[in-house]
Amino acid sequence: MSVTLKQLAASLGLSPTTVSRALNGFPEVNAATRKRVEDAAARANYHPNTRAKSLATGRAQAIAHVIPVSTSHEIVNPVFADFIAGAGETYARNGYEMILRVVNDDDETQAYRDLLARGSVDGVMVHGPRTFDPRIKLLTELGLPFLVHGRTSGVNTPYSWLDINNQRSFHRATQFLCDFGHRRIALINGLQDMDFAARRRNGYLQALEGAGIAPDPALIRHAEMTEPYGYRAAQEMIQLTEPPTAFLASSMIVAYGIRRGLSDLGLKLGRDISVITHDDELSYLPNDGDVPMFTATRSSVREAGRRAANMLLQLVGQPGTGPLTELMETTLVLGASTGPVRNCA
């Protein structure tokens, strides 16, 4: 169905060796010959068979993203999709294939072993790290190059990661609210054991402490970041004897839920109550314009995907490279959802 190197070589009266070298830029081939080969290759729409090539070279030219699905945590969320898209762009540009493997939660370990044993990939991207994530140890032992999107606290061996500064982000957002006079600030966070959630909570707690405010457990929630979760959290907290005057949301989706919960009670964001959310800059949930709807800690997860992929490719391309890390700062954008505390709320 498609032309092979051997056929191409035969049609040119050359050996496969020479054709291979001509196409791969080796020096020991005559310039005229090279040109002839390249032209013929283009004309025949010749592309080397990936399988054969990687079998011969030992490099798979592919990166895997393993996606565990479970009943407890849904990793296939919008943020994940955008990250993948960013990473995919980078892989494509560098001639790497991106393979996605959807596995059952408890098969994840086996999936990495399998990927390695089958020689299907040169490296893997680790998604959604927990506070204590066993995958780092496993992958290190396996010797499979990997990069973590996020970090994990309970690991002391070095590893490569790219993360946003979750702690500083939420520290700053909290501080911002405190400066406006808020003292009852709710945190509607992601799942408890997710590392990013822990860091955000830390930033939040530190800022409260800095402002001399004792944290109230009733104002802190952890759960899967769905819209109804935000809705319920907002509605329930408002009923407290001492309700919050401001909310911190871990994602736009949650923020939308909070907004709905509050507006159903007749509360207007920015006037009656304040909300700051983290904004991953997802295309279908834009939070921009002259005055964005939400005040937010902003960072493009798509860009994160691009950079993470670049780092991983570097790791794969130059083994021996020490662990690579990058901490992306977020920007605090002012939107219409925050204002000074209003006592008669």
Partner DNA sequence: CAAATGATCCAAACCGCTTTGGATAGCGGC
Partner DNA sequence: GCCGCTATCCAAAGCGGTTTGGATCATTTG
Residues that bind a second copy (CB under 8 A): 1-3, 45-52, 54-55, 60, 62, 67, 69, 74, 76-78, 80-82, 84-85, 88-89, 91-92, 97-103, 113-114, 116-120, 143, 224-228, 253, 256, 259-260, 263-264, 283-286
* Structure-token pair, residue 8: 């191409």
Which residue's CB is nearer to a second copy, number 80 or number 159? 80
Least distance between DNA and beta carbon 61 (Å): 11
Spell out the residues 6+ positions from residue 60 whose beta carbon is closer than 8 angstroms to its own: 54, 119, 120, 121, 122
Closest to DNA by CB, 11 or 331:
11
User: Could you tell which of a second copy, DNA, none binds residue 77, using a CB distance below 5 to 8 A set by kind?
Assistant: a second copy
- Tell me whether residue 47 or residue 271 sits nearer to DNA (CB atom): 47
- Of 10, 11, 25, 33, which one interacts with DNA (CB under 7 A)? 33
CB under 7 A: which stretch of 48-56, 64-72, 88-96, 191-199 binds DNA? Answer: 48-56
The yes or no reply on residue 104 touching DNA (CB under 7 A) is: no
- Residue 125's closest CA among 72, 167, 76, 83? 83
Please report how close the Cβ of residue 284 comes to a second copy at its closest, in angstroms: 4
b/e sequence 231-240, b meaning 16+ C-beta within 10 Å: bbbbbebbee
Question: Which of DNA, a second copy, none is residue 5 near (CB under 5 to 8 Å by kind)?
Answer: DNA
Closer residue to DNA in complex, CB, 52/69: 52
| Residue 15 binding target from DNA, a second copy, none, CB below 5 to 8 Å by type | DNA
> Torsion-angle region of residue 316: left (phi > 0), alpha (psi -120 to 50) or beta?
alpha
Q: Is 189 in the site for DNA (CB under 7 A)?
A: no
Beta pairing class for 295-298 and 331-333 = antiparallel
Which of the choices a second copy, DNA, none does residue 17 contact, using the CB cut-off of 5 to 8 A by kind? Answer: DNA
Neighbouring residues of 229: CB distance < 8 A, sequence distance ≥ 6? 188, 221, 223, 254, 257
Of 309, 283, 257, 277, the C-alpha closest to 79 is 283
H helices within the chain, ranges in order?
Answer: 5-12, 16-23, 31-43, 50-57, 78-93, 108-117, 134-142, 166-179, 195-210, 227-238, 252-264, 301-317
Residue window 112-151: x/- pattern of binding to DNA, with contact defined by CB under 7 A: -------x--------------------------------
| Separation between Cα atoms, residue 168 and residue 297, nearest integer Å | 10
- Of 28 and 290, CB closest to DNA: 28
Task: Count Cβ atoms within 10 A of the Cβ of residue 153 and give its class: 0-12 exposed, 13-18 middle, 19 or more buried.
Answer: middle
Q: Per CB under 7 A, does 58 bind DNA?
A: yes
Task: Tell me which of 25, 31, 42, 266 binds DNA, using CB under 7 A.
Answer: 31
Least separation in angstroms between residue 127's CB and a second copy is 13
Q: Supply the minimum distance, in Å, between the C-beta of residue 123 and a second copy.
A: 14
Alpha-carbon distance of 293 to 310, in angstroms, equals: 33
CA distances (Å), origin 105, targets 67, 73, 111, 131, 170? 9, 9, 10, 17, 30
Would you count residue 20 as binding DNA (CB under 7 A)? Answer: yes
- The footprint of DNA (CB under 7 A) covers 4-6, 13-18, 20-21, 23-24, 28-31, 33, 46, 48-49, 52-53, 55-58, 119
